[in-house]
Chains A and B, each alone.
Chain A
Amino acid sequence: MFKVGLKIAIAAFSMLALAPVAPAFAGLKIAMVTSESGLGDRSFNDMMVEGMKKAEKDFGATYVVIQPRAVSEFQSALARAAGQGFDIIIGSSFDMIAPMKAVAAAFPKQKFGLVDVGPDPLGPNVVSTVTKDWEGSFLVGYIAAKTTKTGTIGFVGGKDIPIIHRFFVGYYYGAKMAKPDVKVIETYTGSFNDPAGGKEFTLSNVGQGADINFAVAGATSAGVIDAAKSSKTFAIGVDSNQNYMAPGSVLTSMVKRVDTQAYDMIKSVSDGTFKGGVVKYYGLAENGVAAAMDQYNKGLIADNVLADVDGLKAKMLAGAIVVPNYFDLKPGQKEMGTPPMATPPSVMNAKAP
């Protein structure tokens, strides 16, 4: 009796072990490794899947999404995917830089991609991207200054750090181009993870007359949008399209198009132009940034302003307008960009270190 059971168990187990495991793939095989927040984040992860879907349609590529549960699982997920013969493995998290560097070095033949990280290349077989968020901020700054009724607009940043200053400088430049006498209030909550603080700072800006506030603050942004709703002013979302979060209160969102970035990586593998060891910049010309327009903010922005924005885009593509990058500015610099304009007080009055 026991022996028979054992035999059945062995037979069942060997059946399991021999079961065909690899489904037949046609065309390119792509693996996407999400950040620990996974699918359904309504942000980078979901947006990148949109890029995958487009690639599926255009190149007949097939993709799988691997969702690690924690940052500690990034490296093993990448390494094991590297052993599976994917044509490219694409990651979506800033915390994946170190694991991807290590895995890419261990699998020099495997192609990797990582979206929206810093300017340093990750390895000879990795392509990474930087989003020119300052160009997108410029567009929403222009829209804000054209839309404000009070003549004052606000900026609610997370931490007071250079990468966030980069958004502010673009925003300021756009606002001043739209209306030279517009007042721009620059604030930082000190945290990317503090919606309550975001709300406080935003209401304070509203108290000083700002009727539009640009939230560049990660999870803190939710508080900015909440404050806009309760004070009947406007917020501007960031990173992903946040217009849906409070329909009618979010003027637009400065979207980083990581879907385009993922799509282009797959495209380069598909047509054989993939080149590792480089950092690609995604600005307006590369369709990497946009001011989001959808059913939730329909009618909030006047048609003539939207027409102006189209004109601005054409000028930017032609090089007639060059939005300043904060990292190119020196402390105390008086003018910036093409056409030149006065720098914001936080740059003008800064002392060289």
Chain B
Amino acid sequence: MAPESTAEPPRKSTLAAVLAPVVQPLVAILIATCVGGLLVLALGRNPFEVYGILISGSVVGVPNILVTLQMMTPLIFTGLAVAVSFRAGLWNIGVEGQMLVGALLSGIVGYAIHLPWFLHIPLAVLAGFVGGALWAAIPALLRVYLNVNELVVCLMLNPVALLVTGFFASHVLKAPGPTNKLPDIDPSAALPNFSIYSQVNAGLFLALACCIVLALVNARTIRGFEWKLMGLNPRFAYYGGVDVPRRAIGVMMLGGGIAGLAGAEQVLGQYRAFYDNFSPGYGFDGIAVAMLANFDPIGVILAAFLFGALNGGSAVLQMMTGLSKYLVQVLQFITVLVLAAQFSWNWLRRRPVAALAQEPERSAAPDLAHPSGRQA
């Protein structure tokens, strides 16, 4: 064993302890900003001017702030969905697909059922949650009972969800007209929004509430502690008395449900109908958001705000400078790249190469149904 791990942990000042969790993301953002600045410079533009427009276009003035809030809402949901699963050690990267299925069910409940608003809205939102949770149950069950890597199944189910929901939107339940979409939802199912400038809607408050609730669950409840244990070491959690298979299925379905809420918010609050292929990749952006937040629910809000601001400022940047939307996406992806580099750097440092060589398979994918290593 390495000598420094047996030594007494170094004393940290209070300031350092407070700053520790935010240093990593801030460094990533800083590096990304510098690299992005160089890129802007290479395009023959003044980086200060471009960043100035991005910032003023996203947070200065009511219209811009409202658009930023609109852009961040789906990212809070998808980021939270990823964060919840990752924290429990389950690599749920199928949030995009879970969101689409949730959105489809919300869209169907929104137009096919007629109820007063105080029943219709909750039911349509719930349909989104259920849709996402059921879609997430597929990789969860395969993972727990057949030990199929959830990473692969989740990834493969994303295009399946896109095509299945697209089939419904273009064939089975298509609304008349040239666009592949479901009929518009009833006004009684619509989440209210507040301004002509933006489609930000009541879904934002639901998103924030989800983050706060999960932060409390993580910090204050046994369930939250069990998820954390599973994420750190499922076998240890099993010996500690955690019902690992059930918790694994539960947390995957919870993550899927939250992803489904992202779909519900899009359909009920922004589009007012299910559109085929509506997402520009919110589920994948959610992975970046969750990583930037270090899988912390409150951090997700801040990270989603940053990404939302970049997306919101993007349109202003385009109209003020004629630069392309892709510049903003590149800036986002550089942040993710830096974070991913940090992430794998830490991971490699924590696990000496020798330990990986001794136990290659188990450390890669522990058997969740039989975490003890024995077959029942």
Contact = CB atoms under 8 A, between A and B. Distances in A.
Interface of A: 15-23, 31, 36, 38-39, 64-73, 75-77, 79-81, 83-84, 86, 94-95, 102-103, 106, 161, 163, 190-194
Interface stretch (B112-120, B242-250, B312-320): B312-320
Most B Cβ at <10 Å: residue of A39, A65, A190: A65
B52 interface: yes
B218 interface: no
B166 A193 contact: yes
22 contacts: A16-B51, A16-B55, A17-B52, A17-B60, A21-B49, A36-B280, A64-B318, A64-B320, A69-B325, A72-B278, A75-B196, A75-B198, A75-B199, A76-B66, A76-B197, A76-B198, A76-B199, A76-B315, A79-B63, A83-B63, A102-B196, A161-B176
Contact of B178 (A36, A39, A94, A190): A94
B153 interface: no
B316 A80 contact: yes
Interface of B: 46, 48-49, 51-53, 55-56, 60, 63-64, 66-67, 70-71, 166, 170-171, 176-180, 196-199, 266, 270-271, 275-276, 278-280, 311, 315-316, 318-322, 324-325
Contacts of B196: 75, 79, 102-103, 106
B52 A19 contact: yes
- Interface SS majority for chain B: helix
B289 to A, nearest CB: 16
A70 B279 CA distance: 7
B324 A67 contact: yes
Contacts of B321: 23, 64
B318 A66 contact: yes
Contacts of A65: 318, 322
A77 B275 contact: no
Contacts of A17: 52, 55-56, 60
A290 B52 CA distance: 45
Give 4 closest A-B pairs by Cβ, nearest first: A69-B280, A19-B52, A72-B270, A16-B52
Given A69-B325, A79-B63, A193-B166, A21 B197 contact: no
A72 B271 contact: yes
Given A15-B48, A23-B320, A36-B280, A67 B325 contact: yes
A76 B280 contact: no
A346 B189 CA distance: 41
Given A21-B49, A66-B318, A76-B199, A38 B170 contact: no
Given A72-B271, A76-B70, A193-B170, A84 B319 contact: yes
Contacts of B49: 19-21
Nearest to A39: B324
A76 B67 contact: yes
A21 B198 contact: no
Contacts of B180: 192-193
Contacts of B199: 72, 75-76
A208 B311 CA distance: 52
Contacts of A80: 63-64, 67, 197, 315-316, 319
A84 B266 CA distance: 27
A23 B45 CA distance: 12
A21 B316 CA distance: 10
A1 to B, nearest CB: 12
